[in-house]
Chain A
């Protein structure tokens, strides 16, 4: 297992149908991610990057093909099992942060911990630890609306890391940030990847962001067109 890929997609097809149009979002996509790897999925708007991420993380279903995470076929898992799996082994970071607006920064991070069955005390300690890890020791009892974009994204990352997941999925994690903040966030992600050894899959259209990962998978019109090792790999 250790030597095999942690994520593997084989011939994945995904079509979005509305009443009269159908869009081939993923067309026979196959690709793998090794444990501890940091991969960037890049491509122009509408090329299927986000769909690929959603399908591989089990947020969305696929039409055909197979996706397996750590050797387990997602197709065979129930919705509940997938939920549990997400709670224990995956973390998500989104462009729009998607923090729960009614919870404070601290509580947002605690949530996955509580969900995983930790006691309130343990959850609080771990959340604090993660927030410090992402450089947010203060302002942790503020609501998301009271934080800046960069701070919110740090909270989102801390939340994604809360349960020490094997994989962190990040969809345009720097999309809403200015360049300074974007660089800081990417530095943070890279550092975490190196220090914690977690697998990172990033969707981005920023070459700068892509350039900081181990490998870049380029997509166009629902097809993987190239896979290149990044410079710093």
Chain B
């Protein structure tokens, strides 16, 4: 993987490693300054070995999760990458006709090959140019009676093999490519050999439009490079190009030219991109380019383009604005430059330009663009390998994102665990720390001590976590590779990059270190007396300095280092007057040195010297930088600039922190949160709602509202306080309000407030935010009303007399350490919550299995044939199948043709034509399919059948794929008109029902034929799942009449859908169909099989995913173990006393188990409840856009999860519980 969330992995790894080194160096330097603290800290580690180990294990889990997510991403992208490399082999650049492969007019003459050769003549970057033919044709082996309908057949020019060698046969030797020069010979790849059951020496038959011909297999090679097949079909056969030219009747012609960049398989991406660009320039029609240039140079056009640029160019997708920018810049020249030509060959850019020009409303102008645009390129040049690798990268990144989003819950839980561990460590050492403070150490020394100790744990944990993450990912990838069907030749193999390891380790370490620092800070705020006497924290007095002091501090930091430097100096030299100091500082450069020395001398005297020094350096760097710029203007300033930027950032962050400290006491009183939260929430509103300044962001709106709720709660508490209510009551009422209000707010369906706020887009962060907020709210509510629960539990269990004393203690302890219990409960709930949601989501998908017609439309078999081998009469072929098939086997046989087009919605703002595909369907399909419609125009009917009948009767009517309308809400990007794919605006997925027909304009793609565009009307929208195996996300279903209007040549039917008289024979008939229609290269699949296979893969993937999230469960369980272990140590004396009172050993053990059990069960209950709620909301959101889903809770699965969670919690608690039960009272009571 090269990028993570859009950041270069190299950069990320660099920064994180830098951060890690910085953290370690800072700690090291601090430690050097005060070795006693270091000793104190480090000696704590071996004191309790078991505990230290447990801590490291607890801490390592976040790193483990990060590492395994990254390694899985690495494996996915490297596997796809190697699949890409296998498939394209030495080929880096492919040149093809700009005309889409249709009707054979995509064949190239030899003269073009010569021009390519001449173009790269003497170029050291190129080591081969190969003209070739690639087609898909049926191949059969008559001896074994096996067929492969769509074999990738490749005709190679044997004289051009240089640069494309390296094919290995399956015995490991070099492939005998030269042998192809012999008549009637072929080399097949391993996949084809296995499918045909063919071996060297066998004869295989190629079925071509001109008839059948036989070839002798002279070698079987590995499926790589020229013999690698293509993305879909891995079966390949190699021939000499002459052979294929004969068979296909293409004397002296090729359908592609491939270029190999020197350097073997993995060549420089830049080289091949540069070369692609240069080659493209060679094949640009100068006349067309000049015509285009002149057309675009018209002032009115330039103005309009500039206006579009200023708008941000978003309508064509953000990725296009760069080339558009180039284009507009290049228009300033007098003649078309190379840069201009490159810019206009970008199809998206030219589409935007087309849109802008159409927007000017001048048809003549539009035409003047369209004609040259369609003639612009003679050959389309594509950096095919780079493109494939980019896709590998994209998919890998997507997988990591997926794992990270779900994994982030576990990571949060892991971080909470770290926090918990340190809070407990601190609690255990309160007395010690109190004494350390009492003998004169400072608060920051305590922070340092904890940081030292923590960093040692963190390093150990990060190391161990990384290693364990690697193991976990090996296991997970192993499972995944088992899931990927092997028959298409895609192998899934393990891979991990150094960068990922560095990122995982550093991220783990830095996250842990930050958490440790935060907990250390919290711990350091102890009150000495309270600590030594072992009192509760409620005895701690509030030590907040007055507002004046706080404001002063904040201001000083705003003024930056000067104010502080001045301050320090005043302390050192009290006898100097202010004026003299200022003069000295201003006038004498040496004063700076003196000042620095003074600061250094005073380093032991007070806090904050180091930060002051850093801040001082900021100013010094600013001065130096300006100085350097004047003295040596050529100097590379970037290093200095970065240092300055970093220092200024530091200063700014400190200032923000000080400002926060300034307002913090007021925040606690609640009311300032109200306006602040309200502003944040309003900022999240859609710009059409609220006060109009919103930017439409769900995260902002929800966070703001949450702040408002907390503000109201806190303010409520203050009001109750003023009225003189008891503290307990104040807390209960106000905190319960916050908890319950948040529960209600976050538990609302996602679109519940859309009326108020407008539809707010939200990404995966919303999932995380809502999950964490809900769990926090629930735990919050529970903890502040714990006594109610205690009462219920003790009433329930208390009936069993002998258990009463046990229950009493099992409840008393967790309730007395509410923070700890709350944290543990939250961790547990969070984990169960995610697993629950996932279980529910998995169950939603199963709806397709219940109703396969949703996907198949009632057709049992879908098939496609070779474009070059159309079927004239299906019935005749069946009749002539020699009894293998009969007409009575089929209830319906339907046909579809597809045609790539461009389409535009009438009245679209950007006038852009976008990519779409016409699925011209015959009446067999239109009148017999059972697909469901989500939207329909009542003017044409109110049932799917009526709508389809209308489409059948009128070739200007259309139904579109369910993915082409506006989606919204959960995870949807909402706007169908962004990007290059055609979509319909104004029809919303979550508002199914009647619509008014949408007028669209359809035309052939630019460059195919010019001028004839057709108006059509969309009168229906298919259900989202319908026909989903066709991956037709831009399919427009119409009747075949449309084809005549859009294409001057007949478009053959290439897709056949069969409904069988007996559905149960689908699998069998699928195979027979492929044999009977071999002359047409028919490949078929039984829909039910496809659905089942798909579902199985989905389920397996889901389970794998659940396993991954199970790592989080491990964290939750570990937390209970840690808590129990600590408890045994902390309560030694109490346990002794209880034993003295007559508690039996077993009772102590049961008590400990019960404590964990209660947390585990309550955590599970909260997790299940909230999971079911959010699962329901997700269901509502999805089902608003697609029918046929049912909500159900997979109780088996949930029970299993909870059972595992509770049982493992008990198992982890078992050891400490037994330890506790074995404590000898006499020893425990000794002191």
Contacts and interface: CB of A to CB of B under 8 A. Distances in A.
Interface of A: 50-51, 54, 57, 59-60, 79-80, 83-88, 90, 92, 94-96, 98-103, 107, 111-112, 114-117, 120, 143, 145, 159, 171
A102 B1229 contact: no
Nearest to A112: B1141
Contacts of A120: 798, 804
B1137 interface: yes
Contact of B1140 (A86, A88, A145): A86
B804 A59 contact: no
Given A111-B808, A117-B801, A117-B802, A59 B1140 contact: yes
Interface in B1125-1143: 1133-1134, 1136-1143
B805 A114 contact: yes
Contacts of A90: 1142
A10 B998 CA distance: 105
B1142 A112 contact: yes
B536 A145 contact: yes
**What are the 5 closest A-B residue pairs judged by CB atoms, nearest first?**
A87-B1142, A60-B1226, A102-B816, A54-B1226, A86-B1142
B185 to A, nearest CB: 85
Nearest to B816: A102
Nearest to A96: B1231
B1229 A94 contact: yes
24 contacts: A57-B1140, A79-B1144, A80-B1145, A84-B1142, A84-B1144, A85-B1142, A86-B1140, A87-B1141, A92-B1140, A98-B1137, A98-B1140, A100-B1138, A101-B1134, A102-B809, A102-B812, A102-B813, A111-B808, A111-B1138, A114-B805, A115-B1141, A115-B1143, A145-B534, A145-B535, A159-B1141
Nearest to A55: B1226
Contacts of B816: 101-102
A107 B1225 CA distance: 21
Given A60-B1226, A98-B1134, A98-B1229, A83 B812 contact: no
Nearest to A95: B1231
B442 interface: no
SS of B interface (majority): helix
A98 B1138 CA distance: 9
Given A60-B1226, A145-B534, A100 B1144 contact: no
Contacts of A114: 804-805, 808
A98 B534 CA distance: 13
Of A50, A79, A85, most buried by chain B (CB within 10 Å of CB) is A79
Contacts of A117: 801-802
A87 B805 CA distance: 12
B1154 to A, nearest CB: 15
B607 interface: no
Contact of B1224 (A60, A87, A98, A99): A60
SS of A interface (majority): helix
Contact of B1137 (A51, A100, A102, A143): A100
B805 A111 contact: yes
Contacts of B534: 145
B126 to A, nearest CB: 79
B813 A83 contact: no
Nearest to B1140: A92
A145 B815 CA distance: 16
B604 interface: no
Contacts of B1134: 98, 100-101
Given A112-B1141, A117-B802, A98 B1136 contact: yes
Interface string B785-804: 00000000000001001101
A96 B1225 CA distance: 14
Nearest to A117: B801
B405 to A, nearest CB: 40
Given A85-B1142, A103-B812, A107-B812, 12 more contacts: A54-B1229, A57-B1140, A59-B1224, A59-B1229, A88-B1142, A94-B1137, A101-B1134, A102-B809, A111-B1138, A115-B1141, A120-B798, A145-B536
Contacts of B1144: 79-80, 83-84
A104 B1043 CA distance: 87
B1141 A86 contact: yes
B1230 interface: yes
Interface residues of B, number: 35
Nearest to B533: A145
Interface of B: 534-536, 798, 801-802, 804-805, 808-809, 812-813, 815-816, 1133-1134, 1136-1147, 1224-1227, 1229-1231
Given A88-B1142, A111-B805, A115-B1142, A59 B1226 contact: yes
A80 B816 CA distance: 28
A126 B1023 CA distance: 73
Contacts of A143: 536
Given A100-B1134, A145-B535, A59 B1225 contact: yes
Nearest to A169: B1140
Contacts of B1227: 60
Contact of B1143 (A83, A88, A99): A83
Contacts of A102: 809, 812-813, 815-816
B835 to A, nearest CB: 32
Of B535, B1224, B1225, most buried by chain A (CB within 10 Å of CB) is B1225
Contacts of B808: 103, 107, 111, 114
Contacts of A50: 1230
Contacts of A92: 1137, 1140-1141
A95 B801 CA distance: 32
B1224 to A, nearest CB: 7
Contacts of B1133: 96, 98
B1142 A83 contact: yes
Contacts of A80: 1144-1146
Contacts of A99: 1137
A84 B1146 CA distance: 12
B1140 to A, nearest CB: 5
Contacts of A112: 1141-1142
Nearest to B530: A145
Of A83, A85, A90, A95, most buried by chain B (CB within 10 Å of CB) is A83
A86 B1142 CA distance: 5
Nearest to B536: A145
B535 A79 contact: no
Contacts of A83: 1139, 1142-1145, 1147
Nearest to B1147: A83
A83 B1229 CA distance: 16
A19 to B, nearest CB: 16
Nearest to A51: B1226
Contacts of B815: 102
Nearest to A114: B805
B732 to A, nearest CB: 17
B726 to A, nearest CB: 13
Contacts of B1146: 80
Nearest to A87: B1142
Contacts of A59: 1139-1140, 1224-1226, 1229
A148 to B, nearest CB: 12
A62 to B, nearest CB: 11
Of A94, A95, A115, most buried by chain B (CB within 10 Å of CB) is A115
A98 B1133 CA distance: 7
Of A85, A92, A101, most buried by chain B (CB within 10 Å of CB) is A101
Of A90, A92, A100, most buried by chain B (CB within 10 Å of CB) is A100
A51 B1137 CA distance: 16
Contacts of A100: 809, 812, 1134, 1137-1138
A57 to B, nearest CB: 8
Nearest to B1144: A83
A79 B812 CA distance: 25
A86 B1144 CA distance: 10
B1141 to A, nearest CB: 5
Contacts of B1145: 79-80, 83
Contacts of B1142: 83-88, 90, 112, 115-116
